[in-house]
Structure 1
């Protein structure tokens, strides 16, 4: 079985998260206005937003850190196509305890787990403390972080990901309070809307769904079908309209 026999991975996504072109354009313009000279992207994937910021700030340099080599290779290819390869490095390494900062702009979009000890529970306060450490004085952090739109009922949690519980995410107000406690002022707060979530969730699975339709008897089809069906059910029957995504532009105090 060759790589071309297998379903494509995230080929229908521009961003690895519920982020529209319009919102991305506004965020990039706002972040670029501060003229960051250095940009650090934690859990960068293929670094689409990182590359857009570099394109908007001539002379700025960037580093993207991730542990997924396939995503990083995709990012390098995009950087080459856009003439940005000399200004960005995509590094396959853990971000836990990273010494890649401080940077003028730190991006962490749905990747806070990269800053938490893998053996412990997810700790948004620890994520924010690490981001505070990694941002240069006068810099900016763009944090994309999950939150509960409302406290989920037990039956909703049971239909989400395995082991889901109320403590997995805070409410939005509590999330912003944690950012303030970590030494930031929240300069801008916005959240993904339903259209962004639906485009992300459908795009996340689209390539695999098309592959399954065309390869029903493939040796990997049964396992792949079961995994994708679980993912889709977790969204539609569990966290849809319950889990939100906040985009917080944070400025360090002092």
Structure 2
């Protein structure tokens, strides 16, 4: 049980596996006014940057669960580096279907709504671990502007145009699922650039060092096509943000 190798290669230098900068992540933690001792469950926690830095800065406690063995080890090392290994732990496992033994104060899934087979299922899954009055964080894409055709939608990693919603409709969708949107922090084009463009350097350096690897052809194809796809479509049309929700 693990992610395909291409994910590890693509984001080998990343501590945050979504289009948030460290500053955006810090802004989100500050905006939520987290109290010391807040219990957090982070599903699809990646390299653990949110849980580790918030434990350092706000003294939260909690657990991260991720399917990637590489990311889980990176998260554990980051907890030691920041001196918070006594307050946070990271488990290697499939976040899909994971429910906390006891309700937590804050439950999060930032950019991995596949764990619930889509937005509605992910919100339902996260809600099963959340105490009454607790906070839910969902990271989700949305359309920054109207997508001209299905080709552009597919270039933005949607199967079709209606896979993602414009921002107002996404906020409205959360209400339809029974939650108030009580905070949000949105990625901007600069933070998107830092997330996506850093992948290209990772790919190129890996390719130079591993020209004979069985993955080399796939890496070469991605490096040849993704910068154009990103600058032509994703940078203009695709937004992403983290939305803080409370159950109505």
TM-score, scaled to structure 2: 0.86
In structure 2, relative to structure 1, the CA distance for the partners of 1:21 and 1:223 (3 Å cut) is: closer
User: Runs (4+) of structure 1 moved beyond 6 Å?
Assistant: none
Match of 1:3 in 2: none
Partner SS state of residue 106, structure 2: strand
Partner SS state of residue 85, structure 1: coil
In structure 2, relative to structure 1, the CA distance for the partners of 1:186 and 1:53 (3 Å cut) is: same
8 Å Cα contact 1:160-1:237 kept in structure 2: no
| Counterpart check, 1:153 vs 2:154 | no
User: For the residues of structure 2 that align with 1:23 and 1:249, how far apart are their CA atoms?
Assistant: 14
Partner SS state of residue 151, structure 1: coil
Q: How many residues are treated as equivalent by the alignment? A: 238
**C-alpha displacement of 1:228:** 2.9
Match of 1:218 in 2: 212
User: For the residues of structure 2 that align with 1:102 and 1:233, how far apart are their CA atoms?
Assistant: 44
Match of 2:172 in 1: 177
**C-alpha displacement of 1:236:** 2.3
User: For the residues of structure 2 that align with 1:106 and 1:175, how far apart are their CA atoms?
Assistant: 19
8 Å Cα contact 2:156-2:238 kept in structure 1: no
Match among 167, 173, 180 for residue 162 of structure 2:
167
User: For the residues of structure 1 that align with 2:25 and 2:155, how far apart are their CA atoms?
Assistant: 31
Match of 1:18 in 2: 19
Partner SS state of residue 26, structure 1: helix
In structure 2, relative to structure 1, the CA distance for the partners of 1:159 and 1:245 (3 Å cut) is: closer
User: For the residues of structure 2 that align with 1:216 and 1:51, how far apart are their CA atoms?
Assistant: 32
C-alpha deviations, 1:159-200, integer Å up to 9, x for none? 444x73112211111211121122221111332111011111
TM-score, scaled to structure 1: 0.84
Match of 1:243 in 2: 238
Match of 1:200 in 2: 195
User: For the residues of structure 1 that align with 2:217 and 2:78, how far apart are their CA atoms?
Assistant: 33
Match of 1:79 in 2: 79
Match among 107, 110, 120 for residue 125 of structure 1:
120
Unaligned runs of 5+ in 1: 1-6, 117-122
**C-alpha displacement of 1:225:** 0.7
User: For the residues of structure 2 that align with 1:171 and 1:197, how far apart are their CA atoms?
Assistant: 18
In structure 2, relative to structure 1, the CA distance for the partners of 1:217 and 1:13 (3 Å cut) is: closer
User: For the residues of structure 2 that align with 1:182 and 1:67, how far apart are their CA atoms?
Assistant: 27
8 Å Cα contact 2:120-2:177 kept in structure 1: yes
RMSD: 2.2
User: For the residues of structure 2 that align with 1:209 and 1:149, how far apart are their CA atoms?
Assistant: 29
Unaligned runs of 5+ in 2: 1-7
C-alpha deviations, 1:88-117, integer Å up to 9, x for none? 22112222222225210112111111222x
Partner SS state of residue 240, structure 1: helix
Match among 226, 238, 248 for residue 231 of structure 1:
226
8 Å Cα contact 2:24-2:185 kept in structure 1: no
Match of 1:38 in 2: 39
